[in-house]
């Protein structure tokens, strides 16, 4: 780490797996790893007050450069005191660079060596995003962790297309490092390479040569199978420095988190807990529960025993009633429950790693999830 107030300490590696127990220190507090970041794309975690987000056990949250630059604009956020004050969160914040959104949301995207040019998904206006511009936006937002602009392409794809994206991502990463000025913000490099092991390793090698303080694995969960994603982690993680945080972007299901943790990943984000919560799907140790199902109409049990979230103060029958009646409280409660579940899951993983029993913890969770309602839509 070469920025003020930042450090990374690897405390313990599980005896039988690659799972790591570590601490990422930031100027706004320590993040106990492995950790999951709720997604607050436009300065809010959908449906929840910031106090409700804190109550889930979240330590760090994510905002997005693309969305905040389009609306309300990074200058407004800066003039209102920065993203922390803007949304009322006093802990660490990571901002994504917008590379994935340019790939997934923008209309008529054109990527050149200099920048990505695209039409806003909001109003169709022409927008340009270069590596330098992505850094400038994130410095104006004032996040603790900023991401370089990377070139994301869909999967499956050809070796030539992905090799070109890897090379451009490295060149853009170098440009990002050159212009980064804030001493109170660290920059993550992002490994690309699709489903080609040799490209993943080469991307990691090139970024490590640039000596980033932290590294992310990007370009996954974009159309490949879980098994393909895990295989890419098997080759990518060993190519990353052991003394830096490792972040898997945009992933995923509870099983995805445990599979990645046992391969040595430290940090995660995903919209899945809140998106599924809004659609009446709850995550539990016994699998997912689709709360519109008739079988819950007269069910007096809580969603999950021993869960401290506000949803679990009510019966399953009541939660179902809220969704069937179209009451906004249903999505709010299930979003809070799912985020709490993810935080309980990573907290359990941290404790299991410390006790050298992560393998047992992983098997216990898997056996609980298997054979249940596992399809998590969205």
Contact of 257 with 314, CB cutoff 8 Å: no
> Distance between CA atoms of 184 and 29, rounded to whole angstroms?
12
Exactly one of 14, 96, 144, 256 is catalytic; name it.
96
Phi, psi of 267 (to 5 degrees): -140, 145
List Cβ neighbours of 6 (8 Å cut-off, separation of 6 or more): 24, 25, 26, 27, 186, 213
Is 51 designated active site?
Answer: no
Rounded to 5 degrees, what angle do the CA atoms 307, 221, 187 make? 90
* C-beta of residue 114 within 8 angstroms of C-beta of residue 64: no
Cα(207)–Cα(197) distance, integer angstroms: 16
Partnered with residue 24 across adjacent β-strands are 8, 31
Going from the C-alpha of 86 to that of each of 67, 99, 345, the distances in angstroms are: 15, 23, 29
The residue from 144, 256, 269, 285 that is catalytic is: 269
96 classed as catalytic: yes
Catalytic residue numbers, as ranges:
96, 269
């Amino acid at each position: 780490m070469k920025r003020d107030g930042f450090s990374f300490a690897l405390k313990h590696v599980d005896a039988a797996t690659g799972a790591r127990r570590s601490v990422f220190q930031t100027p706004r507090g320590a993040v106990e790893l492995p950790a999951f970041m709720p997604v607050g794309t436009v300065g809010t975690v959908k449906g929840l007050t910031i106090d409700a987000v804190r109550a889930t056990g979240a330590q760090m949250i994510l905002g997005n450069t693309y969305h905040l630059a389009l609306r309300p604009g990074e200058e407004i956020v800066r003039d209102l005191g920065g993203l922390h004050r803007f949304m009322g969160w006093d802990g660490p914040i990571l901002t994504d660079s917008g590379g994935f959104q340019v790939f997934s949301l923008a209309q008529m995207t054109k990527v050149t060596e200099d920048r990505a040019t695209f039409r806003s998904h909001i109003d169709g206006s022409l927008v340009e995003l270069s590596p330098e511009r992505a850094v400038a936006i994130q410095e104006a937002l004032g996040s603790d962790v900023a991401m370089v602009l990377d070139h994301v392409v869909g999967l499956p794809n050809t070796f030539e297309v992905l090799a070109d994206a890897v090379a451009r991502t490295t060149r853009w990463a170098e440009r990002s490092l050159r212009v980064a000025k804030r001493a109170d913000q660290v920059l993550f490099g992002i490994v690309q390479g699709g489903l080609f092991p040799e490209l993943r390793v080469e991307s990691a090698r090139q970024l490590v040569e640039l000596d980033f303080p932290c590294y992310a694995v990007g370009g996954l969960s974009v159309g490949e199978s879980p098994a393909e994603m895990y295989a890419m982690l098997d080759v990518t993680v060993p190519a990353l420095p052991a003394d830096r945080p490792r972040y898997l972007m945009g992933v995923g299901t509870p099983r995805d988190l445990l599979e990645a943790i046992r391969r040595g990943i430290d940090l995660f984000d995903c919209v899945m807990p809140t998106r599924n919560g809004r659609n009446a799907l709850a995550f539990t140790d016994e699998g997912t529960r689709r709360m519109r199902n008739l079988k819950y109409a007269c069910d007096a049990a809580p969603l999950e025993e021993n869960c401290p979230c506000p949803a679990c103060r009510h019966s399953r029958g009541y939660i179902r009633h809220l969704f069937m009646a179209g009451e906004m409280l249903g999505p709010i409660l299930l979003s809070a429950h799912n985020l709490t579940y993810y935080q309980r899951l990573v907290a359990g993983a941290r404790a299991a790693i410390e006790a050298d029993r992560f393998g047992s913890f992983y098997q216990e969770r898997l056996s609980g999830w298997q054979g249940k309602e596992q399809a998590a839509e969205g």
